[in-house]
């Protein structure tokens, strides 16, 4: 299986605190880390760790931080030939993580603001079975997903919290090109005041809608039915990037031929393992997820996933 992830790549500056500061207050951070991040970059790394042939289309600055991000992506096995070096500084995000693992963020978009130009360079030479667009505004997402669909790819879109605020109407045009829509609970609430009956109607244009619900797990709607899978209880230290690890897990499992429920369970395991570790790209490898599922009584699902993904990868290599 080959995935292309389209969206942001950032330098994450992580500050770990007991409690985030109130307005006008100052708090001490007990730990500071600089890590690669950005939703599309996180997804690309998470997919590569699951054994998927993973590439990324994003923009970085022609600066040392941009070079560093590329080296980090390549070290994780992500193919970077579609990355654009642009005349703007590489994007930064300051992330404050509290003692419960919950985070607040301040983003400087920088080079990411020029993604629309890079998307225009996508053409028929694109080699991917699945194109995932993450945290990208609707018009740019629509352009990328329309190209992907015209080339016969499966697609997913995770609009992210800022985009959810633009409202459903602006997203409806994008939905025409989306096979799987990912939202978290906050985004779903912002879009339609969390009336799941309403969502059946609203998302009739999207074959599968997945709602990620943090420590409560996830649910998915397809053909008017909701399926739910509870989260795996774990001790969360950092929830940054959990949604991206979840998305990559879901795409991997669903494209490998697992049912919707099985894909949710697999994706929940990816998200749960991620939150036990620091950093937005600390997503698990395939063998870590398989072992985790086995330890929690999902041996049959783990074996089925291994068999399905092997045969799926064989078919993809034959193509």
Residues noted as catalytic: 244
- Rounded CA gap, 207 and 228, in Å? 16
Site for ligand ADP, residues 3 to 62, rule: CB under 6 A: none
Smallest gap, in angstroms, from Cβ of residue 44 to ligand ADP? 16
Smallest gap, in angstroms, from Cβ of residue 55 to ligand ADP? 22
**Closer Cβ to ligand ADP, 5 or 239, answer by number:** 239
Cβ pair 207, 222 in contact under 8 A: yes
Choices 76-84, 133-141, 198-206, 242-250 (CB under 6 A): range interacting with ligand ADP: 242-250
Task: Kindly state the tokens that stand for 99.
Answer: 């003692």
Residue 239 lies near ligand ADP (rule: CB under 6 A): yes
- Rounded CA gap, 252 and 197, in Å? 28
- Rounded CA gap, 227 and 265, in Å? 11
- Rounded CA gap, 185 and 95, in Å? 20
Smallest gap, in angstroms, from Cβ of residue 282 to ligand ADP? 13
Residue with structure tokens 């939905």?
175
Classify strands 154-158 and 130-134 as parallel, antiparallel or unpaired. Answer: parallel
Count of residues interacting with ligand ADP (CB under 6 A): 19
Residue 243 lies near ligand ADP (rule: CB under 6 A): yes
- Tell me the H-state helices in the chain: 39-49, 64-75, 115-120, 138-150, 160-164, 168-175, 185-192, 196-202, 242-255, 260-275, 286-295, 299-318
Tell me, residue by residue from 214 to 233, as one string, x for binding to ligand ADP by CB under 6 A and - for no binding.
xx-xx------------xx-
Residue 268 lies near ligand ADP (rule: CB under 6 A): yes
Smallest gap, in angstroms, from Cβ of residue 156 to ligand ADP? 13
**Closer Cβ to ligand ADP, 175 or 292, answer by number:** 292
Cβ pair 92, 43 in contact under 8 A: no
Cβ pair 52, 76 in contact under 8 A: no
Among 53, 54, 184, 190, binds ligand ADP (CB under 6 A): 184
Q: Which residues contact 67 (CB under 8 A, 6 or more apart)?
A: 60
Among 43, 130, 177, 246, binds ligand ADP (CB under 6 A): 246
- Which residues, listed in sequence order, are joined to residue 60 by a DSSP beta bridge? 85
Cβ pair 5, 73 in contact under 8 A: no
Among 191, 202, 253, 275, binds ligand ADP (CB under 6 A): 275
**Closer Cβ to ligand ADP, 89 or 214, answer by number:** 214
**Closer Cβ to ligand ADP, 110 or 159, answer by number:** 159
Site for ligand ADP, residues 130 to 159, rule: CB under 6 A: none
Among 47, 242, 258, 301, binds ligand ADP (CB under 6 A): 242
Cβ pair 270, 283 in contact under 8 A: yes
Residue 181 lies near ligand ADP (rule: CB under 6 A): no
Among 213, 248, 258, 302, binds ligand ADP (CB under 6 A): 213
Choices 58-66, 199-207, 234-242, 288-296 (CB under 6 A): range interacting with ligand ADP: 234-242
> How would you classify residue 51: left for phi > 0, otherwise alpha for psi between -120 and 50, otherwise beta?
left
Among 17, 114, 146, 234, binds ligand ADP (CB under 6 A): 234
Classify strands 130-134 and 208-212 as parallel, antiparallel or unpaired. Answer: unpaired
**Residue ranges that bind ligand ADP, judged by CB under 6 A:** 184, 212-215, 217-218, 231-232, 234, 236, 239, 242-243, 246, 268, 271-272, 275
């Amino acid at each position: 299986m080959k995935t292309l992830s389209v969206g942001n790549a950032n330098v994450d500056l992580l500050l770990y605190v007991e409690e985030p500061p109130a307005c006008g207050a100052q708090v001490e951070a007990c730990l500071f880390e600089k890590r690669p991040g950005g939703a599309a970059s996180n997804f690309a790394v998470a997919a590569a760790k699951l054994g998927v042939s993973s590439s990324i289309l994003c923009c970085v600055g022609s600066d040392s931080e941009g070079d560093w991000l590329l080296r980090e992506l390549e070290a994780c096995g992500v193919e970077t030939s579609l990355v654009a070096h642009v005349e703007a500084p590489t994007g930064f995000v300051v992330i404050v993580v509290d003692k419960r693992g919950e985070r607040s963020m301040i983003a400087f978009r920088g080079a990411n603001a020029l993604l629309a130009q890079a998307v225009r360079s996508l053409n028929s030479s694109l080699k991917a079975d699945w194109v995932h667009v993450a945290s990208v505004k609707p018009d740019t997402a629509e352009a990328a997903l329309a190209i992907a669909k015209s080339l016969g790819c499966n697609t997913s879109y995770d609009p992210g919290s800022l985009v959810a605020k633009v409202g459903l109407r602006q997203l409806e045009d994008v939905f025409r090109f989306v096979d799987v829509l990912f939202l978290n609970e906050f985004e779903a609430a912002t879009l339609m005041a969390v009336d799941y009956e309403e969502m059946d109607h609203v998302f009739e244009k999207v074959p599968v809608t997945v709602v990620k619900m943090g420590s409560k797990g996830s649910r998915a709607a397809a053909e008017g039915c909701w399926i739910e899978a509870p989260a795996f209880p774990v001790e969360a230290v950092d929830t940054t990037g959990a949604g991206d690890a979840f998305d990559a897990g879901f795409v991997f499992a669903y494209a490998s031929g697992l049912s919707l429920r099985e894909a949710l369970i697999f994706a929940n395991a990816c998200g749960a393992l991620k939150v036990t570790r620091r950093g937005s790209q600390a997503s698990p490898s395939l063998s870590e997820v398989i072992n985790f599922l086995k330890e929690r009584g999902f041996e049959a699902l783990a074996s089925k996933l291994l068999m399905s993904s092997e045969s799926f990868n064989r078919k993809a290599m034959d193509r």
